[in-house]
Amino acid sequence: MFIENNDNWPISDFVDPEIAKVSSLLKTTNCGIRKNNNTNKTVASDSESDSRPVKIIKSTDEIMDQIIDDPDKIYDLNFVESFDIIHKCCNLQDKRSLAKYSDVIETAAENMKLLYNELLSKVENYDVETKNILIEIKNKLNSPTPYNVVAAKQSMHSSINVKTKSSELALFIKAKPGVANCDINSKVNQTLSDVRKNKPHLKINKIIRNAKGNIIKIPNTNDLDTLIDYFKKQDQINQIADVYVPKPLDPTIVLKKVSKFTRQEDIPNVLANVNEQLKDMQSEIKVLFEYRSNLHFRDIVLRVSPKVFDSISNLDYLYTDLEAIHFQHRVFVRQCKYCFQFNSHKSTDCPRKNIPICADCGMEGAHQCSKVNKCANCVNFFKNNAQQSLLCHRPNHEACPLYKKQIERVIQITAFKPVNVPASHSLTTMIEVATNQPSSSVNNVLQN
């Protein structure tokens, strides 16, 4: 082992203050020897009137004598500091006095040996640990995790968190033709007041009133059952309105980058057979459409039941017949791609099909687009009250307040967890099945 002879090596790890002081003085003395070859030289002031202190440099012999008194203090030094002690002893000017420092030299050498053995032991331990880690990695590569174990793994950080009241239900009181809105409102208020007398703890989230009637939002099925039973007995209500509970929408998800070797029509059965969480649920999975792609894979949109959605909400990925794929929840808004109206008509039936509105600048028909965004929907809705800066977005983008409101509406009427609906009335599907309509959808939570 080669150790560089460095007289100026800092000694900063002394445990005992006396050892630190001695080592420091050793360096000072050695430096003085090389420069002046004087062991006892007094440096005095040139002026007798100068009262500055006189600096006296001690000889190496005097400093080493302090170590002789207690050689065991050397065991508190590190490897370099022990070497420095031996080096100082070997550089004493009076070689005849070297014998009296034999114990110091022996102790320093023994300390260096102990430190070396300790370091060697650590290196050997690190070597064994490294070999064990490499063996473990090799074993894992040769023995991959079984397919069914990986499929059952769940992630706490990838759940599909949907901002909605998962148990919220709605009771619709829809006015019959020719019935005034005020009549519906007064009858509903009177009925709810009567219910409160018998059921004072009845819970209602809110009541939405519009031109078509009233919508009562209820947080649980028990209170919903109470209202349904009571409203059915009210002839005054039944004569002017239809009372029913609409069937909630089922969630929609997108399977990402599905191989084209996996047939679209086989996906419900494949998912139910391969993924244990979806066993025997193929009837609750429906393929809506797939996005066109020139690559060897494509995205596929599914409508799933609340039970399926709840079962996969904590998974990282799903398995097909060929691969593990990521998926994401996506909200689809029914919006015409020609005039951008919501829930009005299908795109194929749009009266403006031949003179569509530009999604970028909002102009109609053939034109030279400026590519400066101006939402046609917000222009018509806010009219002269809208600031120009608030119109700078596309009508099918989340930045549009009207589009965002439709997204929130779809989320509110979607069941993300299984619920028992006492009565049902089928709502028109919110998805216009088409080959590709990315402008009418928005990702809610992205999986990895």
**pLDDT digits over 195-231, tens only?**
888 888 888 988 988 888 888 988 888 888 888 888 8
Q: Which two tokens stand for residue 242?
A: 């239809």
Architecture of domain 169-244: 2-Layer Sandwich (3.30)
Packing angle of the helix pair 79-90, 60-68 (nearest 10 deg): 130
More confident call, 3 vs 84: 84
Alpha helices for 143-266 (secondary structure H):
147-152, 181-198, 221-232, 235-240
pLDDT at 44: 47
User: How far apart (Å, rounded) are the C-alpha atoms in residues 238 and 174?
Assistant: 10
Q: What's the length of the chain?
A: 448
Average pLDDT of every residue of the chain:
76
C-alpha angle with apex 412: 407 to 414, nearest 5 degrees? 95
**CATH 3.30.70.260 domain span(s) along the chain:** 169-244
What is the model's pTM? Answer: 0.51
Contact present, 97 and 64 (Cβ < 8 Å): no
More confident call, 17 vs 404: 404
The tens digit of pLDDT for each residue in 351-391 reads: 888 899 998 888 988 888 888 888 999 988 888 777 777 88
Name which of 2-6, 168-172, 271-275 the model is least confident about: 2-6
Name which of 71-85, 104-118, 332-346, 411-425 the model is least confident about: 411-425
The percentage of residues in the chain with a pLDDT greater than 90, rounded to a whole number, is: 20
Name which of 164-178, 292-306, 368-382 the model is least confident about: 164-178
| pLDDT surpassing 90 at residue 299 | yes
- pLDDT class for 417, splitting at 50, 70, 90? confident
The tens digit of pLDDT for each residue in 307-344 reads: 999 999 888 899 999 999 999 999 999 999 999 999 88
